[in-house]
Amino acid sequence: MSALPQEQLKNLPSTDARELKQASPIRSVYVYEAPVRLWHWINVLAITVLGVTGYFIGSPLPTLPGEASDHFLMGYIRFAHFAAGYVFAAAMAGRVYWALVGNHHARELFSVPIFSKAYWLDIVSMLKWYAFLIPQPNRYVGHNPLARFAMFFVFILLSLFMIATGFALYGEGLGMGSWADKAFGWIIPLMGQSQDVHTWHHLGLWIMVTFIIVHVYAAIREDIMGRQSVVSTMISGYRTFKD
């Protein structure tokens, strides 16, 4: 049914009026509050900087020509990595706070109902949907059950691991007795030695990159095939159902 009044439909060309009458209604629900959306886009920028600079820290560029004193390239790369790390950690702390004071959708990523049979049935249904085995998925206003599972057990836990190991390695540079060494220095002997922490931290980068590729694919796919907004929802906050 059309959302336009009848008097406006009369002023439209007959083909346009007929198409508007046959069009499906579009319904929108406010899902993600401004702090949640801000956290999402801060993460996009911070993780991009962390990923690029982290790669070059693990696999440095070839030696630059000229005097070493004329170049500070790796210093700038390390500074950008550390600055983005602070932003990423602060954003995560803010997101945890908003999970406590925001709406119920803000808490979805931190409370996965793994003991609910219905939840696991919904996950199986979403797996079938992503495998093209069913024609249409169930409707979910917030995160679908599979996305909720992946966001907590992959993104949230991996982010906390990267923050902890990152600040442990950062504390080595600041020196013994620094705040980072006191807060996170215990992680290095727990995991073996400094190189072990470097290796696991670098591996975490590739797990994060893989997750982001799947996440972007699933969001765009859902926007096109799922008949509901996903990408634009993280801009406006409204989930739009197109049929």
pLDDT value at position 2?
45
pLDDT value at position 14?
61
pLDDT value at position 67?
78
Tokens of 186: 């215990």
**What is the residue type of 208?**
M
Using the structure block, give the residue that is written with the tokens 């836990």.
157
Q: Do 237 and 31 touch, CB atoms closer than 8 A?
A: yes
Tokens of 160: 């906390």
pLDDT value at position 233?
93
pLDDT value at position 104?
93
pLDDT value at position 3?
52
Q: How far is CA 32 from CA 84, 125, 234, in A?
A: 24, 24, 7
Using the structure block, give the residue that is written with the tokens 């959306």.
37
Q: To which CATH superfamily is domain 31-241 assigned?
A: Transmembrane di-heme cytochromes, Chain C (1.20.950.20)
The crossing angle, in degrees rounded to 10, of helices 73-101 and 34-58 is 150
pLDDT value at position 9?
47
What is the rounded distance in angstroms from the CA atom of residue 92 to the CA atom of residue 81?
16
Q: Which residues of the chain, if any, have pLDDT below 70? A: 1-24, 243
DSSP assignment, residue 133? -
H or E element at residue 241 = strand 238-241
For the chain, the structural domain boundaries read 1-30, 31-241
What is the rounded distance in angstroms from the CA atom of residue 150 to the CA atom of residue 210?
12
pLDDT value at position 159?
98
Q: In 90-214, where do the E strands start and end?
A: none
pLDDT value at position 138?
86
Residue 31 contacts by C-beta under 8 Å, 6 or more apart in sequence?
105, 141, 142, 233, 237, 238, 239
DSSP assignment, residue 154? I
Q: Do 33 and 102 touch, CB atoms closer than 8 A?
A: yes
